[in-house]
């Protein structure tokens, strides 16, 4: 079982109007990963008020376990 940590810049997410949620599927490095958790680490240079990134933990899933008729590119 392969797990990954994915990091997104909040500014990039705002530009694309996307926010990752639990259960979302990510195509990364020719594999599919399902997001297990989403957190927003806030401590940057010791300050707790900064929210610059979104961290997601995800696990690898089989293509057959999701209902895609074809692999998107």
Query: Which tokens belong to 9?
Result: 């810049």
Does the pLDDT of residue 55 top 70, yes or no?
A: yes
Please give the pLDDT value at position 44.
Answer: 63
In degrees to the nearest 10, what's the CA dihedral of 6, 18, 29, 73?
A: 170
**Which of 1-10 are b and which e, b meaning 16 or more Cβ less than 10 Å from the residue's Cβ?**
eeeeeeebee
Full-model pTM: 0.74
Whether the Cβ atoms of residue 24 and residue 38 lie closer than 8 Å to each other: no
Name the more confident of 41 and 35.
Answer: 35
pLDDT digits (tens, 9 = 90+) for 7-31: 998 888 889 998 999 999 998 888 8
């Amino acid at each position: 079982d392969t797990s990954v940590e994915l990091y997104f810049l909040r500014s990039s997410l705002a530009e694309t109007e996307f926010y990752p949620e639990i259960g979302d599927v990510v195509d990364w490095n020719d594999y599919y990963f399902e997001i297990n958790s989403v957190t927003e680490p806030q401590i940057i240079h010791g300050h707790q008020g900064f929210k610059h990134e979104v961290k997601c933990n995800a696990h690898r899933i089989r293509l057959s376990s999701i209902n895609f008729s074809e692999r998107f590119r």
